[in-house]
Amino acid sequence: MSTENELFGAVDALLGQVAHEDLPAPAERKRLREASGLSQAQIAAALGARREAVGSWEAGRTEPRPPKRAAYARLLEGLAARFPAPVPEEPAAAPVRVVPEAFTGPALEPVPAAAAAQPSRTAESSGTARPSASSRRPGAKKAARPVTPAAVDPRFENGPLAVVDADEDGQVSAYCVGGLVLDVPAKTIPALVDWTLAEARLGQGRLHRNGRDADPILILTASALERYGLPAGLSEEERRTGRLADSHKVLKQIGKAGLQLTQRGLGPWARLYRDPEGSRRRCVQLCVLPWNALDTREWGRKDDPQLLLTMHPADLARYLGLYAARVMTPRGTTATTGLELMVALRPPTRAEKDPVTGEFKRALNDDALTQLYPVVECEVVDEHPILKGKFARHHLRTPAEMLMEEPYDWCRPLTDEDYANRYLVTIDLNMSFAAAANGLTVGLNGPTHLTNPVFDAGLPGSWLVDLSHVDLSRVDVAGRTVNGELLPSPFTPKGDRPTGPAWYATPTVAYAVELGFAVSPLEAYVRTQSGRYLDSWYKRLRDAYVQTMADMGVTTDLTGSEFLEAMARRKQADPTMALLETAIKATAKGGIGKLRQRSRGQVPYYEEYPALKRETWRPDIRAAVLANQRVGLHRKLMKTAAAADLYPVAIGTDAIVYPSPGPSPLDVLPLTPEGKPVPGGFRLGVSPGMVKHQGTQTVLWAEAQFEERGGVFNISNLIKTDQSAGEGE
């Protein structure tokens, strides 16, 4: 028979189970503690827990476990009895409005549950009327997946960002994702920052468990700048320095309020912060729209430079909110965001528990870029400090002195066979740099120098090797001899045959071996620690691109003719999605370029510049991606030439010009007898690495261009159906 103590113990266990399921919401936990005047340290000491753990319970990042959970629940129950929640006059803590159905389009991911619960009331237009960029054709498919309220992080239930706008009466509104509009009571920039940290519930959860949450972003419109006393534009000197003058009154307000700015100051992109509370950052990023924070070439349309300034705030919030949900919260330029995405998906450090002390310490992740390493002379740009005194000031380094892995810029004269065709059709590889990064093994540690090494395709790095003996005319592919004179060399960006030893990245040398040629490196700098660092980066951008294209009616299941028709009408289907497509492609291209960022001219030659202090300044990784893109493209050229005796006229980055009897890619791209694309060749489709139609011109047009300019030049990027499109991707 059970004793009284045993029965009480069993009852206490049941009560502990009830408490396990009955904790108040994280925000209420914090309210109760603050109402009682207790500190996190006091509660932690009473429960035998760490102060950081209590902070995580209040932030909703983690939940207490038994037996601490039952004791914590009992404490909160007692505090709730003594400090009941005040009855609000309004149902919500912050005034909320919802944008009406006029702003349609694919739902943002995730859709805040709070937004769906609010009553629909008409959004007040602020200032002059702005054209909406979100017109959708009826019946268009929506790619967004339904999201349950449980999927929404309560800390960021209003989304990652907000567009702050003021109406004629001075009322400030924050337009959030999902059509949500918050009334902003703040009268100054410091008050706006504090309101964002305390009430706005903006931000984005980490993309990797070892990463950190994204800071909330406020996009300030012209009317918001006027309301908060900021100038509509920067002076010439301020544009040169990239920041507002320190004497401005708003900066004095910021200092007086105890807020801090990063060294970049208050510029187009600015970070304002207070000291962290434990592990919780208290930082807000400002994106000042009228100060050209969102470059039109990346975020907007070249043919309409004022588009972003004239978009309705709700449309702008939808556009940037979709970008944040599918890629990440913007961090500046698309190039900067592309680089930050790599770090967010592959954080350099993690928390690791010391088995002896039980304390957590910082540990490095083997699959990430974690520290600065010595650089290699052949891999760095001309202005790098390591080259000081090595060459004359205006010396042009040769391929034997510099790793020249770049995309194609090649064109050849037209032949009689080309003139037999009427058209020149240009096809374009989708997100070619991102596709080249997929599955690519890159170096993660510092260089190891080798002399007269045996080539190893598994070692990423740079190799000094003579490939001048490679003659593509004698390469037999699929049983047919390819005319190498009509193809560019895969080893140089200009397509010229190498004339002697030169530095190449591992993918280029591996391709020479794949073609059946012997290689004998003279020297090499290789990385012994390697990994597929860019795989997760590629997959996130691929999914973002494919989903955005699906929103415009371009899906992966379309046939060739259906795909071309859908591509031709996609920008009319949803102009906002068209902006998102451009931004995603710019993020992929710019992120790779940022790995070898050059000096912006703010310092003399051979002096340190800020980018060199980043762990992600890795020109060897950029070279490997570009080499893989170029040889991958050449591989497709070889397959196409072998299958159909078809040779390109020009190549510009990822645009390939073919002579064609008709104006469509369907008239030129070869098919198998079964009607399928040639294996290993070019294939029409929306996925990265597949091709789309860039434009068509006549052969006579090309001849006139050559005569007008006095010789052969690259015509690939002049043949465009959409003249607002950028060069390459």
pLDDT digits over 196-217, tens only? Answer: 999 999 999 999 999 999 999 9
* Least-confidence region, from 207-211, 247-251, 274-278, 366-370: 274-278
pLDDT at 87: 57
Looking at residue 255, its amino acid is G
Q: Quote the pLDDT of residue 147.
A: 35
Q: How confident is the model over 602-627, as a mean pLDDT?
A: 91
pLDDT of residue 603: 67
SS3 at position 79: helix
Confidence of residue 11 (pLDDT cuts 50, 70, 90): very low
CA dihedral 489, 493, 494, 500 (to 10 degrees): -60
Tokens representing 380?
């760095």
Q: Is the pLDDT of residue 414 over 80?
A: yes
Q: What is the mean pLDDT of residues 527-531?
A: 96
For residues 461-468, average pLDDT: 97
Q: In the chain, helix, strand, coil percent, each to 5?
A: 40, 15, 45
How much is the average pLDDT of 222-235? 94
Would you say residue 437 has pLDDT above 50?
yes
pLDDT of 137 above 90: no
Q: pLDDT tens across 592-612, in order?
A: 999 999 998 766 678 899 999
From residue 478, give the alpha-carbon distance in Å to each of 384, 507, 630, 643. Answer: 45, 22, 21, 8
Structure tokens at 571: 């920008």
Q: What is the mean pLDDT of residues 504-516?
A: 96
Residue from 339, 310, 181 nearest 330 by CA: 339
Other CB atoms within a 10 A radius of the CB of residue 77 amount to: 14
**Is residue 435 pLDDT above 50, yes or no?**
yes
Q: Please name which of 478, 469, 421 lies closest in space to residue 699, comparing C-alpha atoms.
A: 421
CA distance 203 to 217: 7
146 pLDDT higher than 90: no
Q: Which strands sit side by side in the sheet containing 260-261, from one edge to the other?
A: 96-98, 180-184, 172-175, 161-166, 217-220, 280-288, 269-277, 260-261
Rounded CA-CA distance 572/104 in Å is: 14
Least trusted range by pLDDT, from 107-116, 288-297, 415-424, 559-568: 107-116
Q: What is the pLDDT of residue 9?
A: 53
Q: What is the pLDDT of residue 18?
A: 47
Residue 140 has a CB neighbour count (10 Å cut-off) of 16
User: How far is it, in rounded angstroms, from Cα 47 to Cα 40?
Assistant: 11
Question: What structural domains does the chain harbor?
Answer: 4-82 (1.10.260), 96-329 (no CATH)
Angle between helices 619-644 and 506-514 in degrees, nearest 10: 30
pLDDT of residue 104: 42
Q: What is the pLDDT of residue 59?
A: 80
- pLDDT above 70: residue 481: no
Residue-wise over 2-11: b if at least 16 C-beta within 10 A, else e?
eeeeeeeeee
Q: What are phi and psi of 544, to 5 degrees?
A: -65, -45
Supply the pTM of this predicted model. Answer: 0.80
State the DSSP string of 182-243: EEE---SHHHHHHHIIIII---B--SSTTS-PBPPEEEE-HHHHHHTT--SS--HHHHHHTS
Average pLDDT rounded to a whole number, residues 621-639? 97
Higher pLDDT, 357 or 164: 164
pLDDT for 477 equals 54
Strands (E), 75-197: 96-98, 161-166, 172-175, 180-184
Q: What is the pLDDT of residue 12?
A: 53
Residue 299 has pLDDT above 90, yes or no: yes
Looking only at the bridges linking them, the beta strands covering 217-220 and 161-166 are parallel
Alpha helices in 136-218 (DSSP H): 189-195
- Give the model's pLDDT for residue 3: 54
* pLDDT-based confidence at residue 678 (cuts at 50, 70, 90): very high
pLDDT of residue 117: 34
Residue (of 364, 383, 362, 361) closest to 372 by Cα position? 364
What's the mean pLDDT in 455-477?
88
Q: Which of these ranges, 21-30, 250-259, 310-319, 623-632, has the smallest mean pLDDT?
A: 21-30
Question: Please, what is the average pLDDT of the chain?
Answer: 85
Segment holding 505, helix H or strand E: strand 501-505
- Residue predicted with more confidence, 396 or 98: 396
CA 77 to centroid of chain Cα atoms: 45
Give the confidence band of 129 by pLDDT, cuts at 50, 70, 90. very low
* DSSP code, position 616: T
pLDDT category of residue 345 using cuts at 50, 70 and 90 = very high
Question: Is the predicted pLDDT of residue 454 greater than 90, yes or no?
Answer: yes
Q: What integer is the mean pLDDT of 542-568?
A: 94
pLDDT at 589 over 60: yes
Nearest to 314 by CA among 108, 582, 92: 108
- Say how far apart CA 37 and CA 664 lie, in whole Å: 73
Contact 224, 172 (CB under 8 A): yes
Could you tell me the sign of the dihedral formed by the alpha carbons of 133, 135, 141, 147, in that order?
A: positive
* Region of poorest pLDDT, from 353-362, 429-438, 484-493, 584-593: 353-362
Tell me the C-alpha distance between 289 and 296, whole Å: 11
Give 45-104 pLDDT, tens digit per residue: 888 888 778 887 888 777 887 778 888 888 888 888 778 877 544 434 455 555 544 444
| Amino acid making up residue 246 | D
Beta-carbon contacts of 307 under 8 Å, excluding residues fewer than 6 positions away, are: 133, 296, 300, 301, 579
Give residue-wise pLDDT tens across range 646-676.
999 999 999 999 999 999 999 999 999 998 9
